[in-house]
Structure 1
């Protein structure tokens, strides 16, 4: 067997990397993500305010050695202006470190551009750093790992796939008529109302739910939602509703 040399990105001085690390298992990082984490000077890890652990930091522990670790505590609240101001202040610290020649990696569960705290930081950094010094490394997102648990196809041919937050139920109801597969993030925050909505549209048997995916004994898989019995669910809960399929277009 050949000893293949895999070309991959290495962290550069003065550069920032928003790195998606997938659902939370070390073996689900991409090679590029792992190399950037293990080779950088500074790791920024998000942690919800009031939480005693950072799932993202736990996932990259096999790749941590000498790097400085900054745990960024943030409140999970629905206030866009406050969030932007808070992350702008944090961006100033990132800029200072990069100007001093450090390579900085911010790790985030899932993908940095899909419902991720990285998006706030990237918005601020885009105004404060050269674009050539800002990098985004994709990661496996929640809907991908959730779908893999049931081995069910998300799209075929002309099918439309829609991703959205579950928190606005009126928007969710409209979306049911606008796609063939609907992926709902943050489903645990409004699970009972969401179940009622799907029941009214006769879609409960077409829905699948995954909570705390890749988190060992905390993981919950539900493929029989008509038998749902109300219970609290983690914020990190994703629902997939396979509404139907579009006719194939010929020619």
Structure 2
């Protein structure tokens, strides 16, 4: 008889505030034996892990949960990334083959610019996988600002960075969300500033104690920075 394999969960842990985890995410985290929490370097703690830790402190103290932390470096070298994704997938597969359920935690939602997607593609044909949605950074930012992202028939555009496609999107979208605003240079931001019909608001570290709302682009550009560009009312 074949041994039953574990189940992999891709769990969105929201934008930063522990209280914004869903009830379902909390329930799963407190009932699985293994959490996979990727981090950008061996010396840094995962932001996603810092979000969920308050909910699983007792399990950690009692050694009732194992935390594995593969490194996903901040690089655009595809070969280097592929190597680390494979290492992480193999590590997770070993736990799943042992019959252990694994929760892969990721900032925001697992379906939006998430590292989970790379692992999912490598393992989806071998194991049962469930995605658990989380609150996205841009909806959290809109709440912090206190304004709707879109209304009626308006078009919302979500982009990872400003590039050659952006000007066309800027002309046609009613609201533009720059998800990874820290990657944009001043030169690229100047392209946006030329469109004086837009209102630009940036949010650093949304929902966290050091949250900061800025009119225009962020100067400091911490990693968790999102910029919302809205068309001015006509």
Same fold per superposition (TM over 0.5): yes
User: Equivalents in 2 of 1:231, 1:156: separation in Å?
Assistant: 29
SS in 2 for 1:210: strand
On the 8 A contact 1:211/1:233 being kept in 2, the answer is yes
Task: Give 2:229's aligned residue.
Answer: 241
1:170 to 164, 168, 181: 164
**Structure 2 match to 1:108:** 106
Counterpart CA distance in 1 for 2:70 and 2:138 is 25
Secondary structure at 1:209 match in 2: strand
Q: How far does residue 236 in structure 1 lie from its aligned partner after superposition?
A: 1.8
Per the normalisation by structure 2, the TM-score is: 0.88
Aligned residues: 225
Tell whether the 8 Å contact from 2:176 to 2:229 is kept in structure 1 after alignment. yes
Instruction: Output the CA distance in 2 between the equivalents of 1:161 and 1:190.
Output: 20
Contact 1:159 1:245 in 2 (8 A): no
Aligned to 1:137: 132
Partner of 1:214 in structure 2? 207
1:191, CA displacement in angstroms? 4.8
Instruction: Provide the secondary structure at the position in 2 that maps to 1:183.
Output: strand
Aligned to 2:145: 150
Per-residue CA deviation, residues 121-146 of structure 1 (Å, 9 max, x unaligned), is: 1111124x14xx10100101111111
CA distance in 2, matches of 1:241, 1:220: 16
- Distance, in Å, in 2 between the alignment partners of 1:37 and 1:79 is 32
* CA RMSD after TM alignment: 2.1
Distance 1:245 1:107 in 2: 39
Any unmatched runs of 5+ in structure 2? none
Query: C-alpha offsets along residues 212-248 of structure 1, whole Å, 9 cap, x if unaligned?
Result: 213312x2211x32xx6x73311221111112579xx
Could you tell me how far apart the structure 1 residues matched to 2:185 and 2:43 are?
Answer: 22
Structure 1: distance between partners of 2:110 and 2:24: 14
